[in-house]
Amino acid sequence: RGPRMESLPEAVLIRILASIPAVDLVLVCRLVCCQWKNLVDGAALWVLKCQQEGLTGAEAEEDAENWQNFYFLSKKKRNLIKNPCGEEDFQDWGEVENGGDGWKIEELPGDFGKEFPSEEVHKYFVTSYEWCRKSQVIDLRAEGYWEELMDTTQPKIVVKDWYAGRSDAGCLYELCVKLLSDSEDVVAEYKSETIAVPEDNDADWTEISHTFSNYGLGVRFVRFEHGGQDTLFWKGWYGVRVTNSSVTLEP
């Protein structure tokens, strides 16, 4: 018979535990005994898992006290906005305003437009001659971000959007993002100014971004809303174009 697990050197035991899926480490292994609990709650095991999976970097070095949360947040990192580029028509988007001729989806580059900086983006949403707005609400718990993580670690919530005008028409653009509690109270909010794209612009795509941090307790939902219109009031779809919206949670 080989040696019992508890007789193994701690460094060897950490290497064995590091081969186990992270969720099982937290939900099962830390309940086995006090030694395993201390190892799962300590930094060394998660430093090793991060190194094994290529998750180490400057961000991790700055937050060495909480490698477990760094690991989970890094593994979960993804765009929480669904259908950000209109590939599934208007699925997952709720229309807040549908002025003029309403929202429309067009293929890049579009009339009097330019290609998007990323070859992965093929479509965009375009507004009309009165205000068009659409929104999407992200349920953070449903996406795997539990309450203690949101309240204690308060990971950065990074919001990005891209907008452009036609080169033959001016337009307006706005972005508003709210962090909401269970009862839909506003915990934190970002609202851009009303951005005016002049007529005879170069039709380049522009990124707008905002990072929420240290936002306080109780955040359970993210409400993302954007929109705009043209400034010439031409019938059709000459207003601002938007695509590649994103919301990510980061260490």
Query: Residue 107 and residue 178: Cα distance in Å, rounded?
Result: 30
What is the signed CA dihedral for 212, 177, 245, 142, rounded to 10 degrees?
80
Residues 158 and 67 in one domain: no
Residues 39 and 150 in one domain: no
* Domain span at 139: 95-249
Residue 59 reports pLDDT greater than 80:
no
Q: How confident is the model at residue 63 (pLDDT cuts 50, 70, 90)?
A: low
Q: How many domains does the chain have?
A: 2
| Residues 172-206: tens digit of each pLDDT | 999 999 999 999 999 999 999 999 999 999 999 99
Nearby residues of 117 by Cβ (< 8 Å), 6 or more positions away: 205
Q: Is residue 89 domain-resident?
A: no
Nearby residues of 57 by Cβ (< 8 Å), 6 or more positions away: none
Taking the whole predicted model, whether its pTM rises above 0.95 is answered as: no
| Residues 85-106: tens digit of each pLDDT | 999 999 999 977 899 999 999 9
Annotate 175-201 with three-state secondary structure.
EEEEEECCCCCEEEEEECCCEEECCCC
When the pLDDT of each residue in the chain is averaged and rounded to a whole number, the result is 90
Decide: helix, strand or coil at residue 35.
helix
Query: Residue 75 and residue 2: Cα distance in Å, rounded?
Result: 35
Residues 61 and 11 in one domain: yes
Residues 34 and 131 in one domain: no
